[in-house]
Structure 1
Amino acid sequence: MNFASDNIVGASAPVLEALVKANGGALAAYGGDDITKRVKARFSEIFERDVSVFFVTTGTAANALALASAVPPWGLGVCHREAHVIDDECGAPEFFMHGAKLVGLPGVAAKLDPQALAAYLKGLPRAVKQMPPKALSISQATECGTIYQQDEIAALGRVCREHGLALHMDGARFANALVSLGCTPAEMTWKQGVDILSFGATKNGCLMAEAIVVFNETLTEGLDYRCKRAGQIISKGRLIAAQFEGYLANDHWYDNARYANRLARKLAEGLGRLPGVRLAWSVDANEVFPILPQAVDQALRAAGVQYHPWTALSLAPNETVGADEALVRLVVSFSTEEAHIDRVVEIARSAISQRAAE
C-alpha cells in the first residue's frame, strides 16, 4: 500500500496504447512529425486560444525553462517558501536562469496572499543593488494539496501586472486541480492572468511527458533554444507527443484525476472521523495531510503503508502538531486500489481502539 506519491505508478493503458501505436514506422525527428503537430493543435483547442507548446520529459525541466523565459539573470522569481521550484528541484530553475534567484514567501496552506505579495513587492528597494522581481510562480495544486480558487489566481495576476511580473503556474497536478474547481483550463489559467504554465501529465497517467504552455507570446522567444540546450528537444519527440494524445483523448485525463480526487476524499473522510485524527488542510485534490497520533503512524508503517512525513511550516496559526503526533502526507493516484483506502482507515481505527483500551 504505497501512498508516497502519484509519480510512483506506471502509465495508464490509453497512454501506453498511444505510445505503442506511435512507435511503428519512421517519422520526422525533433518534433517535426504529424503527431506532435496534431497534439500541439489540441492544446490550443483545450485552452480556447492559440498557444505555444514545448514538450519536455520532466516537471523540473518544465518549471526551470518556463521561469528562465520570464526571469533574466539579474532578476528575482517569487514563490511560496515551500514551492517545488525552490524546495525540491536542486536549484534547477536558478541554474537555467543563469544567476537569477528565487525567494520564498510564507503563506498558510502553501498559498500566497495577494496583499502580502503586494506588500513584499512594494517594500523592495528600487536600486541596482536589488535584483528586480520579474516573475511569480504558484503551484496548482499547492505543496499542501490545496487549490487556488479562480478569484485568488486573478487577484495574484492583478498584483503581477501592477508590478510588471509574469505569472507562472506550476501545474504538476493540473488535472486534479481542474476537476476540483469544475472549470475549464482557460478559466484556471490565462483568463485569470497566467502567462506561462507547466502542464503536468506524468503524475496523472503519462509515462514521461510534461509541457510548457505559453499564453504570453513575449515569453516564447528563445524557448526552443533553451529546450535544446537543456537536452529537451527529443529526437524521437513523437513518443512524447503520443503520450499526450492518449492522455487527452476521450477526457481520459479528467477521468484519472476525478478517480484520484474521489479516493482522496474518501480517505480523508475515513481518517477524519477517527478520534484523535484531524486534517492539517482541506483536501482539494488528491493529497491528504492528516495529523495522526504517533500510535496510528507507527501502526500504519508496521503494516507496510508507505507515505512521507510533512513539514508544519504552512499550518494555520492556531494549529500545531503535538509531541505525540505526526503530520504526514498520503497521495492517491489514478491507479490506487479502493480497497487500500479502506484498509488504511481500518488499520488506523484499530490502532486507536487498542490505544484506548490500554
Structure 2
Amino acid sequence: MTDHSSRPRPFLSDNAAPVHPRVWEAMRNADLADSPYDGDALSAQLDERFSDLFGRECAGLWVATGTAANCLALATMVQPHGGVVCHEEAHIEVDEGGAPGFFLHGAKLVLCGDAHGGEGGKLTPEQVAARIDPIRDDVHQVQPHAIAITQASEYGRVYRPGELERLADFAKVRGLGLHMDGARFANAAAFLGGSATQAAGAAARGVDSLAFGCIKNGAMSAEAIVLFDPEQADLVKYRRKRAGHLQCKGRYLAAQVLAMLDADLWLENARHANVAAQEIASGCGERLMHPVEANELFVTMSANEREALRAQDFAFYDWGADAARFVTAWDTRENDARALGKAIAAL
C-alpha cells in the first residue's frame, strides 16, 4: 500500500483514493495483444461473472465513468420526450453537468424527495406517486418513463431489500423502468451483509439496470453497466459507441472490473471503508446529520471547528455553511480514522 505518511490525512473523496494493487496487476496481465474494442477474452467474461454475482441472467458492459454508466442505462428506458424521476439531490441532477439531458436527447429530470425529511436521499413509492400523479396524460406534459435511485444514497443511506421491492413493484405497476446509480453499491452491499442481490433487489422485484461502481472502490478508470434485461445490452452497445465510450483497448477496463469481482475484492474494499467510517462516527455523537450506513459522514460543525480540524492535517469538504462531509476509502488507515473521530469528539 502506498505510504501517505507525509500527506494530509485524506477524507475528501473516495474518488481520490489510489488504485488497488490487484487492479494494477490485472491491468499488467492484460497487456497482451487481443481483439480490439469489446471483442477480447476479458470483456467476454463480464456477462457470466455478473450473472453469477446477482443470481440471474444479466449483461455487463464496461464504460469509463459513472456518468456514462447512468446515462447510457437510462437511455434504454427513456424517450427524448419523457422524464426520469429522481431525488432532488441525486448525482444525475446535481453533479453530472447536464449529461442526462445530453445523452437522453432532452429528456427531463423530474425531481422529488427531501434529503432532510428523514430518508437521507432515498425515495419512496409515496413520494414518487405524489410527484407524478398530478402530471396529465397528454402531449403537453412530460411523461415519466423511469425512476432513478442511488445505492448508497448521496447521504450514505442504504435501501433495504423491502424498500427496493416496494419501489420495483410500484415501477412495474406504473410501467416505469427502475435504474440504480451504484457508485457506492459495494458499500451498500457490505452494510447489508455482503449480498449483491439484497442491494439491487431480487429477480423480478429489483432494479432493471445498475451502474456498478468500481472507481470509488479501488479501480482506476472503469465502471460497469449491468442490465438485468440482457436484450437491452445490444441497444446500449450501439449507444456506447455513438457516445464515444467504446474504447479501442477495452480489455484494460474489463480487467479492472474483473479484478474487483475476483475473490470479492469489491466487498473487501467496501467493508474496510465502512469500518473506517464507523470508527469516525464513534466520535461524532449528536453531530451526525444522518445515520452512517456506508462510507460517508455528514457532521455539523462551525467554520472555526472545521479550521481546527484542518490545522491537524485532516482534509475534507465543507457541506454548506454549518457542516462537513468526510468520506473513507479502501485505503483509509485505521489510525487516521481513529484520530479523526477523537479530534471531532474533542471539538
TM-score, with structure 2 as normaliser: 0.92
Question: How many pairs are equivalent?
Answer: 333
Over the matched positions of the two proteins, sequence identity in percent amounts to 41
Displacement of 1:183 in angstroms is 5.1
The 1-side partners of 2:302 and 2:106 are apart by: 44
1:88-117 deviations in Å (ceiling 9; x for gaps): 000101101001111211233111122121
C-alpha contact (below 8 Å) 2:63/2:224 kept by paired residues = yes
- Counterpart position of 1:132: 143
Selected match of 2:87 from 80, 91, 105: 80
Aligned positions of 1:254-269 closer than 5 A: 254-269=267-282
Q: Quote the offset at 1:271 in angstroms.
A: 2.2
Q: 1:91 aligns with which of 98, 117, 125?
A: 98
User: 2:341 — aligned with what?
Assistant: 345
Deviation per CA, 1:197-230: give whole Å up to 9, x if none: 1111110011111011111345335211110011
Deviation at 1:55, TM superposition (A): 0.7
Separation of aligned partners in 2, 1:220 and 1:164: 20
CA distance in 1, matches of 2:233, 2:260: 25
Residue correspondence of structure 1 range 230-245 to structure 2 within 5 A:
230-245=243-258
Q: Distance in 1 between matches of 2:167 and 2:56?
A: 22
1:310 Cα shift? Answer: 2.1
Q: Decide which moves more: 102-111 or 166-175.
A: 102-111
Q: What is the deviation of 1:2?
A: 1.4
Find the aligned partners of 2:201 and 2:344 in 1 and give their Cα distance: 43
> One-letter code of the match for 1:346?
K
1:291 partner letter: T
Match of 1:171 among 172, 179, 182: 182
Query: Do the aligned partners of 1:157 and 1:193 also contact (CA within 8 Å) in 2?
Result: yes
**1:282 and 2:291 aligned:** yes
Whether 2:208 is the aligned partner of 1:200: answer no
- The worse-fitting range, judged by mean Cα deviation, of 111-120 and 234-243 is 111-120
Q: 1:219 to 1:124 in 2, by over 3 A?
A: farther
d(CA) in 2 for partners of 1:35, 1:202: 18
Q: TM-score, normalised by structure 1?
A: 0.89
Residue 307, structure 1, aligned to residue 344, structure 2? no
Deviation at 1:282, TM superposition (A): 0.5
Out of 169-178 and 25-34, give the one that drifted further.
Answer: 25-34
- Aligned counterpart, 2:3: none
Q: Identify which range, 132-141 or 212-221, moves more after superposition.
A: 212-221
- The answer (yes or no) to whether the contact 2:161–2:201 under 8 Å persists in 1 is no
2: CA distance between counterparts of 1:198 and 1:67? Answer: 10
Which residue of structure 2 lines up, in the alignment, with residue 356 of structure 1? Answer: none
CA distance in 1 between counterparts of 2:182 and 2:324 reads 22
- Counterpart residue number, 2:108: 101
Letter in 1 for 2:187: N
**1:330 maps to what in 2?**
326
Q: Is residue 24 of structure 2 the alignment partner of residue 28 of structure 1?
A: no
Change (3 A) 1:340 1:327: same
State the distance in 2 between where 1:168 and 1:184 align. 18
Give the 4+ runs in structure 1 shifted more than 6 A.
Answer: none
Kept after mapping to 2: 8 A contact 1:79/1:137: yes
Counterpart amino acid of residue 281 in structure 1: H
Is the contact made by 1:297 and 1:326 (CA closer than 8 Å) also made in structure 2?
A: no
Give the CA deviation at 1:168: 0.2
Contact 2:81 2:142 in 1 (8 A): yes
Per the alignment, residue 4 of structure 2 pairs with none
Q: Does 1:8 align with 2:16?
A: yes
Residue in 1 aligned with 2:238? 225
Helix, strand or coil: the match of 2:263? helix
What is the CA–CA distance in structure 2 between the aligned matches of 1:83 and 1:233, rounded to whole Å?
26
Are 1:296 and 2:292 matched, yes or no?
no
1:108-128 Cα deviation digits (max 9, x unpaired) = 311112212122222211111
Name the CA distance, whole Å, in 1 between partners of 2:234 and 2:258: 26
* Aligned pairs (5 A) from 1:145-156: 145-156=156-167
**Residue range with higher mean Cα deviation, 337-346 or 204-213:** 337-346
**What is the CA distance between 1:74 and its match in structure 2?**
0.5
> Deviation at 1:190?
4.6
After superposition, the CA RMSD in angstroms is: 1.5
Q: Which has the larger radius of gyration?
A: 1
| Aligned-partner SS, 2:16 | coil
Q: Secondary structure at the match of 1:220?
A: helix
Query: Which digits, 9 at most, give the CA deviation of each residue in 1:30-54, with x for residues without a partner?
Result: 1111111123321111111221121
Aligned-partner Cα distance in 1 for 2:214–2:299: 26
Secondary structure class of the residue paired with 1:270 = coil
- The AA in structure 2 aligned to 1:328 is A
| Equivalent position of 1:112 in the other structure | 123
